Amino acid sequence: MQLDVFTLVPHAYSWLTEQRPVATVLGSELDLRLFSYRDTTPLKAGQVDDEPYGGGAGMVLRVDVVAAALDSVYGGQPPHRVIALSPQGRQLTQDVVEQLAQEKHVTLLSARFEGFDERIVEHLCTDSISVGPYVLSNGDLPAMIVVDAIARRLPGALSEGSGELESFSAELGGGLEYPHYTRPAEFRGWHVPDVLLSGDHANVDRWRKDHVR
Ligand SMILES: C[S@@+](CC[C@H](N)C(=O)[O-])C[C@H]1O[C@@H](n2cnc3c(N)ncnc32)[C@H](O)[C@@H]1O
């Protein structure tokens, strides 16, 4: 899968690319490209945003800047999904992640300050995604959330079996995963459920099914 992220801070993604599972699939199942709006802006001195028409606080990411960035990489409007990260977007859910992980090519656009000139969302994007009903300072944490969520659904990202029985998965009926415990079996009088220490796999499976939340 090809994932392209347009941002003002490509260097901020170096942490993400060093972490599993993104690091595991990079170069095989995932090709992640990072582009800076500043490298292709048609404006002087690396300008990318401007004051809002109608007045008010903050700066808005310019449509000509984003169009120039997309043109420089794709030679025009790309045929694949171009997604604006925005609080006004459709909420990111595991279902949305599963759909995105099936795509061959996806582009993510990050903004900052007051956000996108609306013409970017209307004319240059296919859709927009919100990572939750709250406002963050820029679209880079949201973009990293989307990249990480997609990466763990790509073949080979996770060790055998660990990606199937997860919260929100079809295998758990969309529910939340059962509780996990590890050593010590008792700590400050807090005990691990006996069934998990029993070695009886059928009973363990039953207990886990009963504890999907
Ligand atoms: C400070 S926010 C802009 C908020 C906008 N003025 C509003 O009131 O909805 C700057 C940028 O951060 C990103 N962002 C902030 N919160 C987000 C969220 N919940 N989901 C996705 N992107 C978000 C978007 O790219 C947004 O354009």
Model pLDDT for residues 62-106, shown as the tens digit of each residue? 999 999 999 999 999 999 999 999 999 999 999 999 999 999 999
CA atoms of 207 and 192, how far apart (whole Å): 13
The residue contributing the CA closest to ligand 1 atom 15 is: 136
User: Using 50, 70 and 90 to split pLDDT, how confident is the model at 6?
Assistant: very high
Q: What is the pLDDT of residue 124?
A: 98
Chain-wide mean pLDDT for the chain? Answer: 96
Which pLDDT tens digit goes with each residue over 117-134? Answer: 999 999 999 999 999 999
pLDDT in tens, 32-49: 999 999 999 999 999 999
21 CB-near residues (< 8 Å, 6+ apart): 148, 151, 152, 154, 157, 158
Contacts with 85 (C-beta within 8 Å, 6 or more apart), sequence order: 108, 109, 110, 111, 128, 129, 130, 131, 139, 142, 143, 146
pLDDT score at 11: 97
Atom 1, ligand 1: residue with shortest CA distance:
137
Residues, the chain, total?
Answer: 213
Question: At which residue do the structure tokens 């941002």 appear?
Answer: 7
For ligand 1, the distance from its centroid to the CA atom of residue 106, given in whole angstroms, is 19
Reduced to 3 states, what is the DSSP secondary structure of residue 125?
coil
Instruction: For residue 85, report the distance from its CA to the centre of ligand 1, in Å.
Output: 7
How much is the average pLDDT of 152-179? Answer: 90
What mean pLDDT comes out for the span 46-55? 98
Contact, 155 vs 24, CB < 8 A? no
The sign one gets for the Cα dihedral 79, 84, 88, 91 is positive
Q: Report the nearest atom of ligand 1 relative to the CA of 110.
A: 25
- pLDDT given at position 162: 75
Ligand 1 pocket, residues with Cβ under 6 angstroms: 85-88, 110-112, 114-116, 130-132, 134-139, 142
Ligand 1 centre from 86 Cα, in Å? Answer: 5
